[in-house]
């Protein structure tokens, strides 16, 4: 089952789910930028796999 399906079942709105299939080595992470920009005060991000966030 795809992780986004689990997020949807947990009540996360579809427009609040960000997904990308690029290397963590790539510095141009448009979806990550969009996600962080969309965060409001007292909100947080959940990551399916933390090791995909970056290399260091």
Please list, residue by residue across 25-44, b when 16 or more beta carbons sit within 10 angstroms of its beta carbon and e when fewer do: eeeebeebeebeeeeeeeee
d(CA 41, CA 56): 26
- In tens, the pLDDT along 1-56 reads 577 788 889 898 888 888 887 766 667 888 889 988 999 899 888 877 787 777 66
Q: Could you give the number of structural domains in the chain?
A: 1
Domain that holds residue 14: 3-41
pLDDT score of 37: 93
In a domain, 33, yes or no: yes
């Amino acid at each position: 089952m795809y992780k986004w399906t689990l997020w949807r079942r947990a009540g996360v709105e579809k427009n609040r789910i960000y997904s990308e299939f690029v290397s963590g080595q790539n510095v141009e992470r448009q979806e990550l930028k969009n996600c962080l920009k969309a965060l409001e005060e007292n909100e947080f991000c959940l990551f399916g796999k933390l090791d995909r966030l970056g290399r260091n």
